[in-house]
């Protein structure tokens, strides 16, 4: 039996609002979901589990109809849905009352319920959010029962305000596989047993690294699960090492080449480190426009030769200042450089 475990699709989200690529990202999310449906069809996936937050917020009827249309195109795949904390079942959420395509099962109850798929020899357990937060853990007493070979739990949350379950509890409950949702970073807690599929596409600029879904094969009573990368883009850290020789134009060239090598479609957190020539100031706004950059930070510091400066300014306020902070690390070192820059600037 082949299964895809996904969660946190967040249809309707518009990442990086205010940036030129924001609309495109919103479309990417829909396209990525559509692509996942095609994968189900092409690879004859038996079971598609969506462990909460299929929608970014309580969905419009129109959005439900679009999603259901896609599910209709994979009649040989059983789809199981639960509502997460973003698309929770408040009044006016049509998910629960909607007459979904016959291959779709919604586990809409507040407490864990079981759905059986006899032709797959499988039972799926799960429940839905009816409020934005759920401080009680509804999966606490969930355990497999009945004579199916495969027992799968779908669970959304895992932090203090969202079904605070523990990995150990889940591992001990006896399920064949536990499909988690809510945390956007893909994480395998327990090899072939418990994992967060992560968001299908990164939703927020802090969703760093690769995204995709879990592909799970059930065989001989066991699950074999692996992460498959499928997202259109990634948020990445782009660290540029600055030296005394670095100029604005050389740095621009360096950044362009790196973005070209890593992918123009990715979105970058640009960070300058190292030592810049004293007096050098980089135009961060221009640097940020060389690619899709969400955050640009200059963490470099001026390349002061402290010994030389000390000789030059010994007996003055600047000299005393250098002596006081020399050999410092971390925040203190940073303070030394800021202070020194100000003092030298005043001197000039």
Q: Which is nearer to Mn ion, 182 or 276 (CB)?
A: 182
- C-alpha 195/C-alpha 3 separation (Å) is 14
Size of the site for Mn ion (CB under 5 A): 4
**What is the closest distance, in whole angstroms, from the C-beta atom of residue 165 to Mn ion in the complex?**
13
Number of residue whose CB is nearest Mn ion: 182
Sign of torsion over alpha carbons 45, 49, 55, 56: negative
* 25/182 with CB nearer Mn ion: 182
List 77, 78, 85, 148, residue binding Mn ion (CB under 5 A):
85
- Single out the segment in contact with Mn ion by CB under 5 A; choices: 130-138, 176-184, 186-194, 220-228: 176-184
What HEC string does the chain produce?
Answer: CEEEEEECCCECCCCCCCCCCHHHHHHHHHHHHHHHHHHHHHCCCCEEEEECCCECCCCCHHHHHHHHHHHHCCCCCEEEEECCCCCCCCCCCCCCCCCCCCCEEECCCCCCEEEEEHHHCEEEEECCCCCCCECCCCCCCCCCCCCCCEEEEEEECCECCECCCCHHHHHHCCCCEEEEECCCCCEEEECCCEEECCECCCCCCCCEECCEEEEEEEECCEEEEEEEECCCCCEEEEEEEECCCCCHHHHHHHHHHHHHHHCCCCEEEEEEEEEECCCCCCCHHHHHCCCCEEEEEECCEECCCHHHHHHHHCCCHHHHHHHHHCCCCHHHHHHHHHHHHHHHHHHC
User: Is residue 84 within the footprint of Mn ion (CB under 5 A)?
Assistant: yes
Judged by beta carbon, residue 85 or residue 195, the one nearer Mn ion is 85
Site string for Mn ion, 7-46 (x = CB under 5 A): ----------------------------------------
Among 16, 28, 53, 201, binds Mn ion (CB under 5 A): 53
* CB of residue 41 to Mn ion, shortest distance in Å: 27
Q: How far is the CB of 84 from Mn ion (least distance, A)?
A: 4
Candidate list 5, 10, 182, 292; residue touching Mn ion; CB under 5 A: 182
Q: How far is CA 246 from the centre of its chain?
A: 34
The reply on whether position 184 binds Mn ion by CB under 5 A is no
Residue 31 C-beta: closest distance to Mn ion, Å: 21
Q: CA dihedral defined by 198, 199, 201, 205, rounded to 10 degrees?
A: -100
Contact window for Mn ion (CB under 5 A) among 81-89, 109-117, 210-218, 318-326? 81-89
Q: Name residues whose C-beta falls within 8 Å of residue 21's C-beta, 6 or more positions apart in sequence.
A: 267, 292
Distance between CA 23 and CA 13 in Å, rounded? 10
Q: Would you say 142 or 180 has its CB closer to Mn ion?
A: 180
Looking at 18-26, 174-182, 219-227, 259-267, which segment touches Mn ion (CB under 5 A)?
Answer: 174-182
Taking the complex as a whole, the smallest distance from the CB of residue 52 to Mn ion amounts, in Å, to: 6
Q: For the CB of residue 28, give the shortest distance to Mn ion in the complex, in Å.
A: 19
Name the minimum Å distance from CB 67 to Mn ion. 17
Give min distance, CB of 157 to Mn ion, in A.
7
Task: Tell me whether residue 46 or residue 87 sits nearer to Mn ion (CB atom).
Answer: 87
**Shortest approach of Mn ion to residue 87 CB, angstroms?**
9
Contact 185, 209 (CB under 8 A): yes
Nearest distance from C-beta of residue 199 to Mn ion, angstroms: 9
x-or-dash pattern for Mn ion, window 192-231, by CB under 5 A? ----------------------------------------
Closest CA to 184 of 282, 303, 56: 56
Q: Is 126 in the site for Mn ion (CB under 5 A)?
A: no
Q: Between 68 and 204, whose beta carbon lies closer to Mn ion?
A: 204
Binding interface with Mn ion (CB under 5 A): 53, 84-85, 182
């Amino acid at each position: 039996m082949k299964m895809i475990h996904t969660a946190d699709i967040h249809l309707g989200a518009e990442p990086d609002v205010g940036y030129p690529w924001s609309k495109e990202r919103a479309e990417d999310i829909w396209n990525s979901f559509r692509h996942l449906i095609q994968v189900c069809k092409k690879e004859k996936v038996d079971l598609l589990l969506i462990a909460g937050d299929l929608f970014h917020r309580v969905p419009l009827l129109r959005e439900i109809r679009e999603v259901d249309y896609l599910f209709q195109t994979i009649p040989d795949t059983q789809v199981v849905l639960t509502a997460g904390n973003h698309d929770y079942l408040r009044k006016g959420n049509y998910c629960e009352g909607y007459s979904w395509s016959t291959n779709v099962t919604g586990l809409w109850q507040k407490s864990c319920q079981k759905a059986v798929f006899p032709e797959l020899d499988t039972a799926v357990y799960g429940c839905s959010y009816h409020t934005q937060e759920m401080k009680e853990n509804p999966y606490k007493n969930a355990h497999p029962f009945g004579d199916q070979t495969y027992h799968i739990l779908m669970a959304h949350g895992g932090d203090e305000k969202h079904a605070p379950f523990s990995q150990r509890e889940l591992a001990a409950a006896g399920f064949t596989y536990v499909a988690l949702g809510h945390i956007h970073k893909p994480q395998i807690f327990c090899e072939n047993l418990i994992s967060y599929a992560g968001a299908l596409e990164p939703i927020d600029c802090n969703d760093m690294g690769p995204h995709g879904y879990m592909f799970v094969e059930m065989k001989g009573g066991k699950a074999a699960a692996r992460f498959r990368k499928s997202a259109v883009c990634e948020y990445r850290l782009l660290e540029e090492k600055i030296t005394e020789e670095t100029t604005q134009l050389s740095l621009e060239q360096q950044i362009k080449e790196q973005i070209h090598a890593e992918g123009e479609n990715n979105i970058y957190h640009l960070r300058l480190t190292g030592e810049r020539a004293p007096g050098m100031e980089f135009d961060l706004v221009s640097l940020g426009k060389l690619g899709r950059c969400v955050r640009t930070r200059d963490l470099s510091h001026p390349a002061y030769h402290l010994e030389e400066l000390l000789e030059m300014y010994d007996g003055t306020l600047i000299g005393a200042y250098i002596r006081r902070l020399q050999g410092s690390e971390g925040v203190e070192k940073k303070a030394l450089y800021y202070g020194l820059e100000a003092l030298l600037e005043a001197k000039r």
